[in-house]
Amino acid sequence: MSTYTLGLDFGTESARAVLVDVTTGQTVATAVHPYADGVIDERLPGMDRPLPPDWALQNPADWIAALERTIPAVLAESGVAPEQVVGLGVDFTACTVLPTTPTGAPLCQLELYRAQPHAWAKLWKHHAAQPQADRINELAALRGEPWLPRYGGKISSEWLMPKALQILEEAPEIYAAAATIVEGSDWIAWQLTGNLTRNACAAGYKACWHKVDGYPSPDFLAGLHPDFSGLYTEKVAGPVVPPGARVGGLTPEWAARLGLREGAPVAAPIIDAHSATLGGGVTGPGTMFLIMGTSTCHMLMAEEEKLVEGIAGVVEDGIAPGYFGYEAGQSAVGDIFAWFVEQGVPPAYHQEAAEQGVSLHQVLSRKAAALRPGESGLLALDWWNGNRSTLMDADLSGLLLGYSLTTKPEEIYRALIEATAFGTRTIIQAFTDQGLPVRSLVTGGGLTKNPLLMQIYADITGRELAVAGSEQVSALGAAMLASVAAGAQAGGHDTLAEAAAHMAPPPTQVYRPQPDNQPIYDILYAEYRKLYDYFGRGGNNVMKVLKRLRQGRREEE
Amino acid sequence: MSTYTLGLDFGTESARAVLVDVTTGQTVATAVHPYADGVIDERLPGMDRPLPPDWALQNPADWIAALERTIPAVLAESGVAPEQVVGLGVDFTACTVLPTTPTGAPLCQLELYRAQPHAWAKLWKHHAAQPQADRINELAALRGEPWLPRYGGKISSEWLMPKALQILEEAPEIYAAAATIVEGSDWIAWQLTGNLTRNACAAGYKACWHKVDGYPSPDFLAGLHPDFSGLYTEKVAGPVVPPGARVGGLTPEWAARLGLREGAPVAAPIIDAHSATLGGGVTGPGTMFLIMGTSTCHMLMAEEEKLVEGIAGVVEDGIAPGYFGYEAGQSAVGDIFAWFVEQGVPPAYHQEAAEQGVSLHQVLSRKAAALRPGESGLLALDWWNGNRSTLMDADLSGLLLGYSLTTKPEEIYRALIEATAFGTRTIIQAFTDQGLPVRSLVTGGGLTKNPLLMQIYADITGRELAVAGSEQVSALGAAMLASVAAGAQAGGHDTLAEAAAHMAPPPTQVYRPQPDNQPIYDILYAEYRKLYDYFGRGGNNVMKVLKRLRQGRREEE
CA distance A468 to A471: 7
pLDDT for B312:
77
Q: What is the spatial distance between Cα B514 and Cα A377, in angstroms, rounded to a whole number?
A: 38
Does the CB of B554 have a partner CB in chain A at under 8 Å?
A: yes
The pLDDT score that the predictor gives to residue A53 is: 87
Confidence band of B140 (pLDDT split at 50, 70, 90): very high
Is the predicted pLDDT of residue A553 greater than 90, yes or no? no
Record: contact B546-A374, CB cut-off 8 A: yes
Helix, strand, or coil (residue B269): coil
Q: How confident is the model at residue B392 (pLDDT cuts 50, 70, 90)?
A: confident
| Best CA proximity match to A201, nearest among A96, A82, A344, A340 | A96
pLDDT given at position B221: 98
Q: Provide the shortest C-alpha distance from residue A359 to chain B (in Å).
A: 15
Residue to mutate among A383, A405, A530, A532, with most B CBs inside 10 A, is A405
Which residues of chain A from 305 to 334 reach within 8 Å of chain B, CB to CB? 332
- Map residue B355 onto helix, strand or coil: helix
Rounded to the nearest integer, the mean pLDDT of chain A is 96
A362 backbone dihedrals φ, ψ, rounded to 5°: -70, -40
Residues, chain A, total?
Answer: 557
Q: Kindly list the residues from chain B whose CB atom is less than 8 angstroms away from the CB atom of residue A336.
A: 405
Q: Which of B332, B376, B403 sits opposite A405 (nearest CB)?
A: B332
- A&B contacts, CB < 8 Å: 168
From CA B276, how far away is CA B124, in angstroms rounded? 17
How confident is the model at residue B556, as a pLDDT? 59
Please indicate whether, in this complex, the C-beta atoms of B343 and A407 are within 8 angstroms of each other. yes
**Whole-angstrom distance, CA of residue B263 vs CA of residue B250:** 4
Describe the strand order of the beta sheet including A509-511 as a list of residue ranges. Answer: A313-316, A324-330, A296-302, A286-292, A438-444, A465-467, A509-511
Is residue A393 within 8 Å of A387, Cβ to Cβ?
Answer: yes
Beta-bridge mates of residue A43: A50
pLDDT of A213 > 90? The answer is: yes
Whether A531 and chain B come into contact, CB under 8 Å, resolves to yes
Chain A within 8 Å of B553 (Cβ-Cβ)?
A: no
Task: Compute the 3-state secondary structure of chain A and give helix, strand, coil in percent, each to the nearest 5.
Answer: 40, 20, 40
The answer to whether the Cβ–Cβ distance between A403 and B385 falls below 8 Å is: no
**Residue A400 and residue B404: Cβ atoms within 8 Å?**
no
Q: List CB contacts (< 8 A) between A333 and chain B.
A: none
- Whether residue A534 lies within 8 A of chain B, CB to CB, comes out as yes
Q: Which residue of B has its CA nearest to A382?
A: B403
Chain B closest CA to A432's CA: distance in Å?
Answer: 26
Model confidence at B555, pLDDT cuts 50, 70, 90, reads low
Nearest residue of A to residue B546 by CA position?
A: A377
Residue B546 in contact with partner chain A when CB distance is under 8 A: yes
Contact between B77 and B17 under an 8 Å Cβ cutoff? The reply is no
Does B422 score more than 70 pLDDT?
yes
Q: Does A547 touch chain B (CB under 8 A)?
A: yes
Strand stretches in B432-508, DSSP E: 438-444, 465-467
Task: Report the candidate in B246, B292, B296, B301 with the shortest Cα–Cα distance to residue B268.
Answer: B246
Average confidence (pLDDT) over A479-507 = 97
Q: How far apart are CA B182 and CA A28, in angstroms?
A: 87
Residue A474 has pLDDT above 90, yes or no: yes
Reported as a pLDDT band with limits 50, 70 and 90, residue A556 is: low
B335 neighbourhood in chain A, CB within 8 Å: 405
Residue of chain A whose Cα is closest to the Cα of B533:
A540
Chain B hits for A519, Cβ within 8 Å: 554
CA-atom Rg of chain B in angstroms: 24
Contact B545 A523 (CB under 8 A): yes
Instruction: Determine contact: A403 vs chain B, CB below 8 A.
Output: yes
Find chain A residues with C-beta within 8 A of B405's C-beta.
Answer: 332, 335-336, 339, 384-385
Question: What residues in A contact B349, CB-CB < 8 Å?
Answer: none
- Side-chain half-sphere exposure of B113, counting CA atoms within 13 A: 24
Nearest-by-CA chain A residue for B334: A405
B554/A523 CB distance under 8 A: yes
Residues of chain A with Cβ-Cβ distance to B385 below 8 Å are 404-405
Span A256-270, average pLDDT = 98
For chain B, the distance separating the N- and C-terminal CA atoms, rounded to the nearest angstrom, is 68
Which residues have CB under 8 Å from A29's CB, separation 6+?
A18, A19, A73, A74, A75, A77, A78, A80
- Which has the closest alpha carbon to A287: A273, A295, A276, A298? A298
Interface check for A375 against chain B (CB to CB < 8 A): the answer is yes
B399 touches A: beta carbon within 8 Å: yes
- Pick the more confident residue, B307 or B270: B270
Q: How far is residue A492's CA from residue B59's CA, in Å, rounded to a whole number?
A: 90
Asked if B403's CB is within 8 angstroms of A399's CB, the reply is yes
Looking at beta carbons, which residues of chain B come within 8 Å of A414? Answer: none
Q: Are A88 and A476 contacting, i.e. CB atoms less than 8 angstroms apart?
A: no
In chain B, residues with a C-beta closer than 8 Å to the C-beta of A374 are: 546, 549-550, 552
Asked whether residue B557 carries a pLDDT value surpassing 70, the answer given is no
pLDDT digits (tens, 9 = 90+) for B318-342: 999 999 999 999 999 999 999 999 9
Residues of B in contact with A375 (CB under 8 A): 549-550, 552
Residue among A342, A374, A384 whose CB faces B403 most closely: A384
pLDDT of residue A555: 67
Predicted structure pTM score? 0.92
Would you say how long chain B is, in residues? 557
Quick check: A16 and A92 in contact, CB under 8 A? no
List the single best residue of A381, A401, A406, A547 to mutate versus B (max B Cβ within 10 A).
Answer: A401
Q: What does DSSP assign to residue A387? A: B
Identify the DSSP state of A358.
Answer: -
Task: List chain A residues with CB under 8 Å of B519.
Answer: 554
Q: What does the pLDDT look like over A174-197, one tens digit per residue?
A: 999 999 999 999 999 999 999 999
What is the pLDDT, as a whole number, of residue A394? 85
What's the Cα-to-Cα distance from A244 to each of A63, A195, A271, A287, rounded to whole Å?
Answer: 20, 15, 12, 20
From A416, which residue of chain B is nearest by alpha-carbon distance?
B403
The whole-number pLDDT of residue B164 equals 98
Q: At what angle do helices A334-343 and A409-433 cross, to 10 degrees?
A: 160
Neighbours of A435 (CB within 10 A): 10
Burial B78-109 (b: 16+ CB within 10 A, else e): bebeeebbbbbbbbbbbbbbbbbeeebebbbb
Q: Cβ A542–B378 below 8 Å, yes or no?
A: no
> What is the average pLDDT across A348-373?
98
Alpha-carbon distance B510 to B490, whole Å?
A: 35
Determine which helix (DSSP H) or strand (DSSP E) holds B74, and give its type and residue range.
helix B60-78
Of the pLDDT bands very low, low, confident and very high (cuts 50, 70, 90), residue B293 is: very high
Q: Among partner residues B397, B530, B545, which is closest to A403 by beta-carbon distance?
A: B397
Contact A52, A128 (CB under 8 A): yes
> Which residues are CB-contacts of A535 (< 8 A; sequence separation ≥ 6)?
A381, A396, A399, A542, A543, B401
Radius of gyration of chain A (CA): 24
Strand order in the sheet with A379-381: A379-381, A398-403, B398-403, B379-381
Rounded to whole angstroms, the Cα distance separating A99 from A236 reads: 10
For B534, which residue in chain A has the nearest alpha carbon? A540
Report CB contact under 8 Å: A401, B404: no
Lowest mean pLDDT among A390-399, B27-36, B354-363: A390-399
Assess B353–A contact: CB distance below 8 Å, yes or no.
no
* Mean pLDDT, chain B, whole residue set: 96
Q: How far is A341 from chain B (nearest CA, A)?
A: 8
Provide the sign of the torsion angle of the four alpha carbons B163, B168, B174, B180, taken in this order. positive
Residues of A whose CB is below 8 A from B524: 549
Report whether B434 contacts B308 (CB < 8 A): yes
B contacts of A419 (beta carbons < 8 Å): none
* pLDDT on residue A308: 87
Q: From the candidates A546, A547, A548, A553, which should be mutated to test the interface with B, based on the most B CB atoms within 10 A? A: A546
